[in-house]
A and B are shown apart, each in its own frame.
Chain A
Amino acid sequence: MDVEVSRGAQSIPRHSKEHKACYQFTQQSLPACKPVLTPAWVITTFLLMGVIFIPLGLITLHASENVVEIVDQYDTECVPEAFRSNKVAYIKDKLIPKNCSRYLKVYKHMKAPINIYYQLDNYYQNHRRYVKSKNDRQLLHGFGYNDTSSCKPEESNNGLPIVPCGLIAWSLFNDTYTLIRGRSELQVNRKNIAWKSDRDHKFGKHVYPFNFQNGTFVGGGKLDPRIPLSDQEDLIVWMQTAALPSFRKLYGRIEEDLNADDVVVVNVTNNYNTYSFGGKKKLILSTTSWLGGKNNFLGLACTSVGSSSIFISMVFLLLHMKSPRPYRETSYLYGWKQERHVQLKR
């Protein structure tokens, strides 16, 4: 049968290379390599993965440990004793002063630039209706665009349109921090905290806030109507909605070093209402590394992947040495079942 077919195949005239390639494709006889998993390859692969991942994990952990991070949760501490039982009333009351001082101890030398973040927990900036509640064209072009229906209910107030509209802008974070070390105030650089692409292409240079935060419900901070949106970096940072319910946003940078055992006094104005939904606010001072902030998870994940690879390769090696299966032993084929039983009994 086969002999006939191949004879027929040879009689097909092969004019050119394209013909030959086409013929190989249609007859399913393209040259191919057929890798087969052998114990040697598999054990080597797992060993190699272990050898790569364990050092990688250790390096990552080391980098993460080297990041110096000071975390201070101030939302409960900054509420005066009298109002601890009714924090919502406290935060909503405009007459009570919201100033508060926090003392942060630097436990290790921190090299400049040091990032200042505010962290919010249990805050779902990724809620679907929240994420949709803005209008990109209005942010870029201002009054020219009337169709701001996606911004409801923060679309207009007293018949006048709101710029920037929407819930994301309305809920702008408005706690402020002033840092003092020793006697002098630390210079906090509040420029260049947002992405350059956002400043240039998403927020207009000639769009100014208008009728903002004038309604009965106050969601967050106010904006200076004299500064164009592309320079309102707090707003830009805030409007880049976070992916996860527990997130940080950049507040500013300190361009000097902080020495170990320094005490930094932070004057916080505790304006933002996270009390009505059980959210938390924290202030973070952190250095950065190639890995970003302080996060041990990736280092641990790498190390565990590496060590499980080594473990698996050891297990396979033991199994292989204990009961190797010779390759290409066709008597193991199902069709010759009786022979296989005979073989194993030997």
Chain B
Amino acid sequence: MFSVTDKRLNLNIIHATEAHIHAYSSLGLRTLVVGMRELSASEFEQWHSSFEAASTALIGRAALLRKVAGNIENNLIILGASGIEDKLQLGVPEAIDSLRTAGVQVWVLTGDKQETAISIGYSSKLLTRTMTQILINSSSKESCRRSLEDAILMSKKLTTVSGDAHTTRGSSGDGITQLALIIDGTSLVYVLDSELEDKLFELANKCSVVLCCRVAPLQKAGIVALVKNRTADMTLAIGDGANDVSMIQMADVGVGISGQEGRQAVMASDFAMGQFRFLVPLLLVHGHWNYQRMGYMILYNFYRNAVFVLILFWYVLFTCFTLTTAITEWSSMLYSIIYTALPTIVVGVLDKDLSRMTLLSYPQLYGAGHRQECYSTKLFWLTMVDTLWQSLAVFFIPLFAYWRSTIDTSSIGDLWTLSVVILVNIHLAMDIIRWNWITHAAIWGSVIATWICVIVIDAIPSLVGYWAIFEIMKTGRFWLCLLVIIIAAVTPRFSIKFLYQYYSPCDVQIAREAEKFGNPTMSSPVQIEMNPVMDRQRR
């Protein structure tokens, strides 16, 4: 603005205004400078005609318009400057602190001036006085490159000096000098979409906070893309205005805040909320619950279906490799519809590993998702090995018990059906963390429903296995087989689960025990600690 003012006027006023603006922005106010110029009628007519010509030009319209605007925007007289306080929402500093304790890296991208952005950073506790700030304000590509390289060298020196052997990305706490990177939009112009992106990413990794100011909407999307393309981590973008839409759409998860700036951000987002601080329950509570539920459900569904199919497969080895199925086709179909469907749904929807209060008071528990504790390749293959063992137990125990006996296909098929359904439900029952009445009803109800269905199927004369279940239920061998199958199949999993939980417990397990047995420090109401993380060692 100051470049287009009339330099002939009192320079003192201009300097004073500049000083005031600087003061305003250091306070965190959004600044505006107002200026004016009087135009004579002929001057205006002349300008207006060239403006019309430029605005209807077919080629290079934007450049022409800029030129025409530049013609009239000069020699302005300063009228004054204003500063507006854009208040931080309630609970923002605590929210940011929670997220960073949870291991989430928080970057701020704003269109404000650098001073405004820094002051907002201080007031939202993103920046602290102890952090070393790295400022990058470059006006050319070369200077940008040099600044980035210098900053990387400095950060390397600082991190080796503090002698930290193990650090997660931009880890906070335990005495390392923390770094804050502050970069503005003009430098980003040279960085984005060039080879300097890698340097920026490397530098940003070493810093615990990144603050980008004077960022244009498309640059916001560019920064999100920069992170997304270089790591396997998930990115979340949260914003409330129309200038945040491209960033929200670029990120893996886009959150829009519906508020005073309209509903543009909300319409483009995956999740919408009323206030920034609601992001914390979204991630720490619901995000954690859903991760645990989905991870477990995927593994359980693989197991449930694989166990059934493996039993059919083992039987093929004993029918001269023809595809006779001992289990009736009706039962095979109803397996996924009635026998085992409802418990899966109920547990996947209602089961919670920790209570809301625990998750909010200990954001570190969110790290369970980062460490892939609920679903990983290793867990998958372990589940498959367990599935194999269980299918062997379910198949071979009746096989050996009824070898050389008078049993027919339908009866042994009924035994396999009932034992696999009971086994699969007991397996689920072992893993359920929270038992409420709906869970009880679903699991035991499914087992009872299976019995009823098998009895009904075997009471229809036109089907092959007519009356098989009644004949076999009269024998003692059937019930004994059922008992031995369940116990033999489930015992290895139970023992290994207990050993894991007892001797190398994960965080979530310890938190569960604390919830149940009542650790006094955990059941106290949520204390918002404003001390930096280093102070935890005092405990």
> Chain A interface (Cβ within 8 Å of chain B)?
1-2, 5, 25, 28, 30-37, 39, 42, 49, 53, 56, 60, 117, 119, 124, 126-129, 131, 136, 195, 197-198, 201-202, 240-250, 290-293, 295, 297-298, 301-302, 305, 308-309, 312, 316, 319, 323, 325, 327-330, 332-336, 338-339
Say whether B476 contacts A124, CB under 8 Å.
Answer: no
- Residue contact A30 to B350, C-beta cutoff 8 Å: yes
B514 proximal to A (CB < 8 A): yes
Contact of B480 among A37, A42, A302 (CB under 8 A): A302
CA of A332 to CA of B511, assembled, Å: 10
Residues of A within 8 A of B480 (CB): 56, 60, 291, 298, 302
Query: In the complex, how many angstroms separate the beta carbon of A288 from the nearest chain B beta carbon?
Result: 10
Verify A28–B350 contact, CB threshold 8 A. yes
- A39 touching B405 by the CB < 8 A rule? no
Write out the residue numbers on chain B whose beta carbons fall within 8 Å of the beta carbon of A28.
350, 352
User: Do A241 and B409 touch (CB < 8 A)?
Assistant: yes
* CB-based contact A243/B407 at 8 Å: yes
Q: Give the docked Cα–Cα distance between A291 and B322 (Å).
A: 31
Task: Assess the A292–B477 pair: CB atoms within 8 A.
Answer: yes
A333 near B352 (CB under 8 angstroms)? no
Contact B507–A334 (Cβ < 8 Å): yes
Across the two chains, which residue of chain A brings its CB closest to B413?
Answer: A243
Q: What number of B residues sit within 8 Å (CB to CB) of A?
A: 88
Q: Say which residue of A1, A31, A124, A202 sits within 8 Å of B319 (CB atoms).
A: A124
Flag if A295 contacts B406 (CB, 8 Å): no
CB distance from A29 to the nearest CB of B (A): 9
Q: CA of A198 to CA of B319 in the docked complex: distance in angstroms? A: 24
Chain B nearest CB: distance from A41 CB in Å? 9
Count of CB-CB pairs between chains A and B under 8 Å: 210
A202 to B462, CA, bound (A): 8
Answer whether A1 and B91 are a contact pair too, CB < 8 Å, given A35-B435, A247-B407: yes
The docked-state distance in angstroms from the alpha carbon of A334 to that of B103 is 12
- Tell me, in angstroms, the Cα distance from A31 to B487 when the chains sit together: 30
Given the interface pairs A2-B357, A126-B319, A242-B407, the reply to whether A332 lies near B505 with Cβ below 8 Å is yes
Chain B 457-496 against A: per-residue CB contact (8 Å), 1 yes, 0 no? 0000110101100110001110011001001100100110
Tell me which residues across on chain A come within 8 A of B350, comparing CB atoms. Answer: 28, 30
| B contact residues around A336 at 8 Å (CB) | 364, 536
Q: A1-B281, A34-B512, A37-B498 in contact; A298/B403 too (CB < 8 A)?
A: no
A to B CB contacts below 8 Å, 9 in the list: A34-B433, A37-B497, A37-B498, A243-B326, A292-B477, A298-B484, A309-B487, A329-B510, A333-B511
What distance in Å separates the Cβ of B91 from its nearest Cβ neighbour in chain A?
A: 6
- Complex interface: chain A residues within 8 A of B461 (CB): 201-202
- The stretch among B305-313, B331-339, B517-525 that forms the contact with chain A is B517-525
* Complex Cα spacing A197 to B521, Å: 67
Instruction: Indicate if the CB atoms of A49 and B487 lie closer than 8 Å.
Output: yes
How far is the CB of B523 from the nearest CB of chain A, in Å? 10
